[in-house]
Each structure stands twice: as structure tokens, then as C-alpha cells.
Chains A and B, each alone.
Chain A
Amino acid sequence: MTKITSLTELKKLRDSLKEKMESYSLLDHPDSIIQVKVAMATCGQASGARPVFDYFKEELEKRNIPAMVTQTGCMSYCYAEPTIEVTIPGKNPVVFGFVNTRKADEIIERYIRKGELPDGVIPVNYETVISQ
């Protein structure tokens, strides 16, 4: 890892990382890919987020669906843990609650493959500041 030694350098790095991350969710972009985020804070893990995370990783690969499975902190819907967020390129992210491996299978087959919304969608109820 080379150290960042100026603000300009940091901004350049930020811009390239930002562009790359945003390109994942763009439609018809060479980098676009399905993103699955699993909330893996203490609350999520205590309710079984780890097996759900592993399941998505293994199953998406097995079923030949190119996807990026990552962990995040608490998505704040503690009452509905484990929670996950799925972003299909070109679409808004969708949050699902009470996800176990059975539900995960349904999400892969119905939402990720066919774009149908199964039950258990949690409406997003907050706004987030965007720094710039």
C-alpha cells in the first residue's frame, strides 16, 4: 500500500473509487454486477447473519450468478434481523428482513433471477447526508 501524501492525491483516489463503486449498479456498464449486502453487526450476527452471508456467497457462485456479496454494519432494522440489501443494476436497492437460508434461496430465485418481489421487503425510512 502506498501512502497518500496530499489532499489532491486523496481526492483523486476518492474519485476513482467512487466511480468504480457507482458503476456496479449502472445498467449496461462493463462493471455492473448484482450486489448483496448483509448486515453483520453484533445484532445481525446474533440472529444468524453469518450463515446467510455464506449461503449467498456459495449459492450465487454455484448457480452461476455473478454477484458481489459484502458485509456492512447495522442497517438499523434490529427487529427484522438478519437484514440484507440487494441491488440489481439499474434498479433501486431493496432491503429484506428476517432472512434465513430458505428466504435467501427465494430471493435468489425470485428477485435476483426474475425480478419478482417476494414478501419481506422493508421500506427505507431515512435519508442520508451526502457529504459533498
Chain B
Amino acid sequence: MDAVLESIPAYLTGFRVTLYLTVVSGALSLVLGTVLAAFRVSPLRSLRTIAAALVEAGRNTPLTLVFVFFVFILPGMGIVLPLGTLPAVIALTVYTSAFVCEAVRSGINAVGVGQAEAARAIGLGTVSTLWLVVLPQALRSVVPPLINVLIALTKNTSVAAGFAVVELTATGRGLARDYPADVVAVLLGVALFYLLITIPAGAVAGWVERRVVFTR
């Protein structure tokens, strides 16, 4: 127990990196995933194909491989990214966007086609139809699966520990080495800090869900 208390400053440093990876990759994934979903329902076949290919690649590639690609292979091909958290943010965003896209797309599909047809019939273009009519209604069914995606992202940030980013899991590994007698307590401490992100996320999801349903 002492080991955990003594290590709180170290935990906090790791936690800040994990929180940073989660929030930044999460925000970027929401934007990129929504854009990909818009591509997937667009009338242009080329956009649909590109988005479908990216999504399938993201969904079917293990996250570690995505990291390997951005940390080792891209620099090998002459595209050098600055070290630190940037390659991790890119890898997490690319991977998570695919899941965001699928969640948003299923929400879009849950909105009746009549809504989009009525929007087009008064002269709204494709983007306005999506933005003003379809997406606001898709939101209601999209929030719960999106929160699940973001919770998965929180845990997925731990993969960065294997690629020279000292976030929560890497911190825990270091502490376990320093306090070999208290490995279990030290790792429970790590798990607790992850819950600090995922439990509020779940609560926010519940709140948003109730709000969206009420305004119907």
C-alpha cells in the first residue's frame, strides 16, 4: 500500500499522458470518423470506396500493427514524424476513426430515408441534408455506441507503452519493477486511474442519452 501512496506523483505523470492521448485522439477520431461516415453515405462512389477501404483497414488491423506502421515503417520510408506522443496520437486516431465511422453510420441508417428525401426535396444539398436533418437525429442512437468506442480507446492508449510513450501502463510497469513485492497493489493502482476516465465517460453517456431522448 505504501508503494502505491509513494508513487502517486509518478502515477499522475503517467495519467496525464494517458488522458492527453485519450482526449486528443478521441476528439480527432470523432471528427475524422464522422467525415468518413459522411463519405460512406455520399452519392459519390469514389468517396464511398475510399472511406470503406480505410474503415476496413482500421477495423481489421491489430492496433499494435498500426503503431508499428507509424512508428517504424513510415520513418523507414522517409516520412519522419517527431518522436513522443505524436505518432501514438496518429495511430490511435486512424484506428479509432474506423469504429467511430461505423457507429455514426449505423445511427445515420437508423434515421428514416424519408427525412433525407424531404430535406432534398426542399432544395438542401447533400452536406446540409446530413448536417441539419440527418446527423442531429442520428445522434440519439449514436451516443451509447460512441461512448463504448471512447472507453475502448482509453484502454487502447496502453499500446503506446510499447512504443516509447511513458503513459499510465508504462509507468505501472516501471513501478512494478521498483516495488517487486507490491506488484498487485501497484497494478491495481493503474487500473484505478483508468477507471477515473471510463466511469465518468459512462455517466456522461447516460446523461446525454436522457437529454437527447427528452428533447424529441
A and B together in one complex: no
Binding site for A on B (CB under 8 A): none
Binding site for B on A (CB under 8 A): none
